[in-house]
Every structure is written in structure tokens, then in C-alpha cells.
Structure 1
């Protein structure tokens, strides 16, 4: 039994050695068939890599082969640095100019006073003084008039403008409408049942106030034909017209644009007045 086991092990060992020998022979034949081509390709790759390394070294000349981005950044930093330096110098010159003009302004007090007076007259400065205020309002909702257009029972642009013109004619030094300062380019525009002033719509009642000699202002309102016509509608249909004098009123400075955007001549309706009705406004 032991002899049989030894023979079996010997046979297995012999078969393994024979299999390895055959594999080695096959591998040698394959290497012999491809050795020349493989060696040639390996040498070619090595030579090509060496040429690339030599070419790169010659082109670099000790520097970076990809300096484009870095060069752009460096140039940008240098350019911005020069620009900042120029701006700093310009700022210094402007400050010196402002200081010089300030000193000159302090020395010419008379010219400065005249400028302030003109700014006040133009409505660019807040003012205070005795004032006359006029309040205009529509007729009450329960008022109806047979044969009369309902549009005539409300306050319109021309009614406000009539009061404004009368107050200017009476020597008004400053004026406000609904608390907004009136200047030479102020336009009053009627849009629906509201009045637009400096781009802001207002609903009635409308308050027009003026600083000046109160007696002269009231006299000018009394003499105004347009204001007199409005008072006829007050008596006939219940519209509101009220005058009030105050010992001291504070008017704000104008805060809007000074440009005159639109201007055109107004031509009123000259048609005849029906019998028994007030003169058309």
C-alpha cells in the first residue's frame, strides 16, 4: 500500500514537470517571434521621449514653458497699480482745489449772500413768514343741479391756477400747493378727479398758501376775475372757497427737478353763457 502511494506521488510530480517544460518551450517560441519587434518599439519610444525632453529644455531656457496666464496677471496688477496711483494724485489735486475754492468763498461774502438770496427766490431754500391760505373743494355729493354738467361741480386745474396767479400778482414771496413748494417751472395738471403736482396726484380739498403781505394778497384774490367766477359756483352749487391768514408759516424748499418738460398756451372756451348760470370757468 505504501509503495503504491509513492508511485502515485512520483507520477503526479513527473506530470507537473512535463507540463511546465512544455509551457516554457511555448513561451520561448513566442518570445523568439516577437523579440525583434518589441525591442525596436521600446527603443523608438525611449528615443522619442528623450527628444521631447531635450526640445523642452532648449525652449524653456531655464524658465516656465506656460507663462502666459502668469504674465497676464502680472501685467494687470501693474496696470491697476499705476491707475490707482494716478487716481490718488487726481484726488489730491481735487482736494486742493476744493480747499482753495472754499477759502475764496469765505473771502467773498457779498457774492455768497447774493447767491443765497437768489436760491431763496427760486424756491430752493426753506422760508417762513406771514401767510394767506386758500382752500378749494368740490361740491358735496348730495348736490345736484338740473341741466348742469357734473364736471362743473368739482375743482379743476384752472381753478387752482387762478388762485396761484392772483397770489403771485398780490406780491407773494413764496408759495406751496398741498405743502409742496411752487417754483417757476411748477405745472398743475388735472388727471381725472385728481390734480398732479410735480408728478404726485392729490385729491381735494386743495390748499394753496402764500407768504407775503396779507392785505395785498387778499386784495389780489378779491380783484381776480377768475377767482370771482369760482366764487359764483360756490354760491350756486356749494363748492368750497375759504381764506385763512396765519401769523407765521414755514414753507419747505423745493426738492424736485428744475427742468421744464412741457409748456403750451391754454385757450379757454369762449362760448356764451346760458341764462341764469355762472360764467364758465
Structure 2
């Protein structure tokens, strides 16, 4: 096989202490002065994060409904011309806040079994980091789909916009205030041949596929004849930027 990418097998001692400090700080901030230890068990930080993720999802849905009502009232009662409304619709599509439909692809990435052994003769035994999906893997897929001319991209059940950041902490994905576990699904609307070509020509994905072959990481690319990606439902906090003094 061709050479493998380097996956960090262990953290330096300083990094471990920094991570431990971060965990204690997040735990203290989440507790907000309350005792998160119960008589029966210690509520794990991951449980608190997932609970907040569920609440964020509910709030986003409520905000999206209200925003849709406001938009409908503004369009009904507004004095804008048809040309102005057309431009607004185009800008919403470009920003990812309106639905987009068409043919496309869904890419699914899955962790390998925890007890995986080499599937190819001569390949070394895997380190734990070799068996899980990393942030760089998801980012490579998303970037390749954009490069392939995607009209819209969705990761799990969330539409991506220009300020979206795909970040992984441990073996979980944190996207726009919500937490996900593998398998991860990335869906794009666009020309299916161009999207596939972009995936196949991306070096980072070719490196990932070596681990698929060697250790059994999951990789599936499914063609979608017709798929609809709903518009982004979250808030857009970034309004404008100015140079620092």
C-alpha cells in the first residue's frame, strides 16, 4: 500500500494538562454554581452537552417557525417590487437559508470496530485513532463537494452556510451548537458525476480510503435521484466585520 497519513497516537504531557484544565473549566461553567453530583451517580459532561444539544434543536425549530411567519407577513404586506423579491430569493438561495432540490450524493462515514485488525497483509496493528472518523475526514468530504459544484450541503440534519464550522471533539461531531455521533452523513445537491469526480480527486479522501481498506472504516457514496435540502434554520450572528484599530 502507499504510505499512510500520520494520525497522532498520543498527546504530549503539556497537552494532557491543558485538556484536563479545559474539562474542569467547562464542567464548572456548565454547573453554574449548582451541584451536578447526585446521590446516585455523577452526571457525565457528555450527557449535559447532549441535553443542551437537544434544547438547541428545539429552540432552532421554534425560531425557524417564527421567522417563516415574519417572512410571509413581510412579503404579503411589504411594498417591494417583483424584481426586489426575486433578488431576495436569489440571495437566500446563495446564503443557504432557503431549500434547494435536485439530484445529488450522500456520503456516509463510519468508525471501524473497536477490535478491528488489519485487513491487508503487512499493515501494522491499528492505533485507536486509526479506527475513528476525524474532523479532517469530514472537512475533506465537505470541501470536495463544494469544489464539485454543490448547490447546497447538509451534514447530518443541518444545512451548512458560509459561517458553519465542522468540528470534532473526541469521537463526536459538534455542529452549530448540536452534538452528533457516527455514522456521519453528508448530502449534497448538484451534478452527481462532478461531485463524484471531486471526491475521487481529493488527496485527503484518498488517504482516508487507505484506512478503509486497511482497517474497515466505513465509506459509502450513494446517488440520489431527487433530494431536498431544507434551508438553514439557525440564527446568523455575524452581521458585519470591521478592521481592528
Give TM-score, length-normalised by structure 2: 0.62
Say whether the 8 Å CA contact 1:126–1:252 is kept in structure 2. Answer: yes
Structure 2 counterparts to residues 130-279 of structure 1, below 5 A: 130-144=103-117, 146-259=124-237
SS in 1 for 2:188: strand
CA distance 1:224–1:174, shift in 2 (3 Å): same
1:233 and 1:183 mapped to 2: Cα distance?
30
Q: How many residues align?
A: 161
From the two aligned structures, give the one with the greater helix fraction. 1
Name the counterpart of 1:115: 88
2:93 and 2:231 mapped to 1: Cα distance?
8
Q: Which has the higher contact order (CA 8 A, sep 6+)?
A: 2
* CA-based RMSD: 2.1
Please point out which of 82, 87, 100 is paired with 1:127: 100
Say whether the 8 Å CA contact 2:110–2:132 is kept in structure 1. Answer: yes
Which string of whole-angstrom CA distances, capped at 9 and with x for unpartnered residues, describes residues 84-123 of structure 1? Answer: xxxxxxxxxxxxxx99x94631xx2112101101101111
SS in 1 for 2:79: helix
Q: Which runs of 5+ in 2 are unaligned?
A: 1-72, 119-123, 240-245
* Superposition deviation, residue 234 in structure 1: 0.3
Name the counterpart of 2:79: 104
Structure 2 counterparts to residues 36-47 of structure 1, below 5 A: none
* Superposition deviation, residue 179 in structure 1: 1.7
Structure 2 counterparts to residues 51-62 of structure 1, below 5 A: none
SS in 2 for 1:241: strand
Say whether the 8 Å CA contact 1:185–1:259 is kept in structure 2. Answer: no
1:154 and 1:210 mapped to 2: Cα distance?
23
